[in-house]
Amino acid sequence: MQQPGVDKNLYKGVWVYAEQRRGEVSSIVYELLNEGKRLAEKLGTILSAILIGSNIKSKAQELINRGADKVYVCEDPIFAEFQDDPYSSVLTQLIEKEKPEIVLMGATNMGRSFAPRIAARIRTGLTADCISLEVDPETRNLWQTRPAFGGNIMATILTPGHRPQMSTVRHKVFKEAKTEEGRKGESVEYKIDVQTLLNRTKFLGFIKDANAAMNFAVADIIVSGGRGLGNREGFKLIKELAELLGAAIGASRAAADLDWIPHSHQIGQTGKTVSPKVYIACGISGQIQHIVGMNSSDIIIAINKDAACPMMQIATYALEGDLHEIIPCIIKEIKSSRR
């Protein structure tokens, strides 16, 4: 059903929101540019990136090198730190002016926070946490697939009567676009009247999570602990193994809920989605809500007493036994192999 008053023919082009923090473009942007390019080519249209920040225009060429045909740059000191109000106001204005048919954003803390505000303001649909996208060149509808009902089914959602079609996409479901140095593209500065931007918040400061030793997005190896660790002390073993392997530390929700580790380490449906080369699950049973967050890992190693639990069933290597015996053996082996 087409929304009354929406002329879908006026909407053209695929957009990727180029998320950045303190001038550092997030790697999800390069993943979205890769997928956005494929969709744009299928629709016979162009791919644009939207860069919002302060002193940020130098990043536009990098986005062009990664596949953007056009970059809209919105620069002002008000955008130095992410705040929902001014960011969603300016992106809303830009969408209303330029009328893209698809807008892709990362399903990151930032994307999850301000994408719904924009969708509500422009009265369109938003599909959150997509893990696959496809377009129908005839209807130009975007097929947005995401896990539903706790990951038990995959739902494909369409926005047939409204434009633009907006999705947030999970990290690591698409490969990053390759860099083509010196690629040609257009960079357009979007002039903003900051007086027109809503801003009800004041940025006071940024406090880094001191426990988040490594960013999951860049970790090749993740060592995760669950309730099977027995107590908070169990995470000392996980930490020791992770340090030896140069790995990030993950956790099940059960472990985080028990306050053995901060929730920022939680992996799964209500935590982070990860896709490392190696995922080591220690004392994690592998309920569906955990599995949806890590099952695209290249190699899964499970350490568990219960050979029949789901994690042991999906593991590439399943080590059956008490983790308090197995992990110290692995640590000992690694240490002796490095002597």
Residue 223, helix vs strand vs coil: strand
Binding test (CB under 6 A) with ligand FAD, winner from 102, 278, 284, 315: 284
In the complex, what is the shortest distance from the CB of residue 336 to ligand FAD, in angstroms, rounded to a whole number? 23
Nearer to ligand FAD, 38 or 290 (CB): 290
In the complex, what is the shortest distance from the CB of residue 117 to ligand FAD, in angstroms, rounded to a whole number? 24
Binding test (CB under 6 A) with ligand FAD, winner from 92, 167, 266, 275: 266
Binding test (CB under 6 A) with ligand FAD, winner from 287, 297, 301, 315: 287
Check binding of 269 to ligand FAD (CB under 6 A). Answer: yes
The torsion angles phi and psi of 279, rounded to 5 degrees, stand at -120, 120
In the complex, what is the shortest distance from the CB of residue 253 to ligand FAD, in angstroms, rounded to a whole number? 3
Cα Rg of the chain (Å, integer): 22
Binding test (CB under 6 A) with ligand FAD, winner from 38, 171, 253, 265: 253
Residue 329's H or E segment, with its range, is helix 323-338
Check binding of 249 to ligand FAD (CB under 6 A). Answer: no
Reading the block at residue 92, the tokens are 């809303």
Nearer to ligand FAD, 168 or 252 (CB): 252
Which residue's entry shows tokens 């960013």? 215
Nearer to ligand FAD, 102 or 282 (CB): 282
Burial class (CB in 10 A: 0-12, 13-18, 19+), 306: middle
HSE (side-chain half, CA atoms, 13 Å) at 31: 21
210 and 87 in contact (C-beta within 8 Å)?
A: no
Q: What is the layout of strands, in order, in the sheet containing 153-157? A: 132-136, 141-148, 153-157
Check binding of 34 to ligand FAD (CB under 6 A). Answer: no
289 and 267 in contact (C-beta within 8 Å)?
A: no
User: Which residues 213-242 are close enough to bind ligand FAD by CB under 6 A?
Assistant: 226-228
In the complex, what is the shortest distance from the CB of residue 234 to ligand FAD, in angstroms, rounded to a whole number? 9
310 and 285 in contact (C-beta within 8 Å)?
A: yes
User: Which residues 4-23 are close enough to bind ligand FAD by CB under 6 A?
Assistant: none
User: Which residues 289-328 are close enough to bind ligand FAD by CB under 6 A?
Assistant: 289-290, 293, 303-306, 309, 322-324
> What's the distance, CA 71 to chain centroid?
21
